Amino acid sequence: MPTRESRRHLLCAVCWVLVVIVVLLAVIIYLATKEPDCKDDSSSVTIETTKYGSIDGKQVYRYTFKNKNKIEVSIISYGGIVTNILVPDKNGKVEDIVLGYDSIEGFKSNGPYFGAIIGRYANRIAKGRFSIDGVNYTLAINNPPNSLHGGVKGFDKRVWKSSLKDDKLILKYTSSDKEEGFPGEVITMVTYQLTDNNELIIEYSATTSKKTVINLTNHAYFNLAGQGSGNIFEHKAIIKAEHYTPVDSTSIPTGQLASVSGTMFDLRTAVSLGDRIPKVPGNIGFDINYSFGKTGWMKYGARLLFQQRFWRQQKHTCRPPSINLVFYLEQK
């Protein structure tokens, strides 16, 4: 199962590529090159449906959204994976700014979780154990000694039921009681919507038949210069968080809330990733859970910028009460 090592291996083809993932609990991704014009609510977005092979004997569909600004977003019904986000730069040159594969074959195993919906539980559950109301539950250990991203066959490796409603793609997956060890039958619905304001809006909801734990997210990796164009050392990042949660050697939070001040993780002002990454201990890049506190989420909480040549930028905001953001960069 995908350990950090095997992910590294998978990504080796692209030498010294540095990949970015910003994981949000409730996500709104703005791919705006300017502030969104919130008054325009007449959508010109089109959605094209095509067949995209099959997995587990089930037909997989691919949905391609296009908006008036020539932004194209493709999502497949396997894992709800965002396979492409095509964005023109200021000169009209179009690049795919998310990492992925060229065909369904690559996405089938997808060790790095490129673009996928993560469930039932994003990130690690220590030793794959938890208890609810005095009952102990044991999960599949796929990231020893912990359970990662929902276990061996998480939501990222399931074929979801898909349909279109108005300008939204609706994905549904029913996870049976005890799937990967989690209690309760959970019916999950994720909707994707592209707007003419260049927002990709992802909404998550779930119902359960028993008390359980759930934490859904999307695991897209971004390179705003275009996937395959090299590392992201020319990107800048801003994360307006004052604290982060330190982890132990197995990436489980120690329970402390530490100040970013004076550490390599301080991104409160724009930081060039090329300057910062080589200084992060362990030479592995960032895998940091930032905490914004109860009131700390600003007008924008985090931005990834790539302005030197292309003027693309990405703005991440989170609706309350979501106040954490995991910033993950892996150095190849």
Ligand X SMILES: *[C@@H]1O[C@H](CO)[C@@H](O)[C@H](O)[C@H]1NC(C)=O
In the complex, minimum distance from the CB of residue 79 to ligand X, in angstroms, rounded to a whole number: 17
Find the binder of ligand X among 53, 253, 274, 296 (CB under 6 A): 253
How many residues belong to the site for ligand X (CB under 6 A)? 14
Residue with Cβ nearer ligand X (88 or 246): 246
Residue with Cβ nearer ligand X (253 or 274): 253
Pattern 288-317, ligand X, x by CB under 6 A = -x-x--------------------------
Told to check if 131 binds ligand X by CB under 6 A, we report yes
221-250 positions binding ligand X, by CB under 6 A: 245
Told to check if 318 binds ligand X by CB under 6 A, we report no
In the complex, minimum distance from the CB of residue 166 to ligand X, in angstroms, rounded to a whole number: 29
Q: How many CB atoms lie within 10 A of CB 194?
A: 28
In the complex, minimum distance from the CB of residue 116 to ligand X, in angstroms, rounded to a whole number: 14
Find the binder of ligand X among 23, 29, 97, 273 (CB under 6 A): 23
Find the binder of ligand X among 21, 60, 122, 302 (CB under 6 A): 122
Distance CA 178, CA 100 (A): 30
Told to check if 215 binds ligand X by CB under 6 A, we report yes
Q: How many CB atoms lie within 10 A of CB 34?
A: 9
Told to check if 87 binds ligand X by CB under 6 A, we report no
Residue with Cβ nearer ligand X (155 or 310): 155
In the complex, minimum distance from the CB of residue 329 to ligand X, in angstroms, rounded to a whole number: 15
In the complex, minimum distance from the CB of residue 182 to ligand X, in angstroms, rounded to a whole number: 14
The residues binding ligand X (CB under 6 A) are 23, 25, 122-123, 131, 136, 215, 217, 245, 253, 289, 291, 324, 326
